[in-house]
Amino acid sequence: MRLLVDTSAYVAFFRGHRAIQEVLAHADALFINPVAIGELLAGFRKGTLHAENVARLERFLASPRMSVLPIEAETADRYATIHDGLQRAGTPVPSNDLWIAATAMQHGLRVVTTDRHFETIPQIVTSHHPP
């Protein structure tokens, strides 16, 4: 199984969420995009454990099973497709999560997340694990 790690899944993993830990442990390959990394870094700056959290993220990203996928023109096209479909359906999703979904769509990855709104995006498959 090849998984794209959403910001919420990363946070849940390190907070001891057993289902997330299990699914990440058994994945063949893990991916993340710069949007999720940016969300994490922004969150770290608000806390008192900034240096520790950055070091933990760096170790996570250094795993041989982890790859950071770039945002490209094709990703932007997938973003537009997803955005248009959700607008027409009247089911908005936060913009950053659209970029994560577009990355998953582009690379044929399942999104692992605790956020329920990913389930409203018909172009992707999720592995939703409630918080």
Q: What is the DSSP string of 99-129?
A: HHHHHHHHHT-EEEES-GGGGG-TTSEEEE-
- Superfamily covering domain 2-128: 5'-nuclease (3.40.50.1010)
CA distance 25 to 72: 28
Residue 39 has pLDDT above 80, yes or no: yes
Q: Model-level pTM?
A: 0.92
pLDDT digit string, tens, across residues 74-99: 999 999 999 999 999 999 899 999 99
Q: What is the average per-residue pLDDT within 36-65?
A: 97
Domain positions in the chain = 2-128
Q: What is the average per-residue pLDDT within 112-131?
A: 84
Structure-block tokens of residue 5: 């790690």
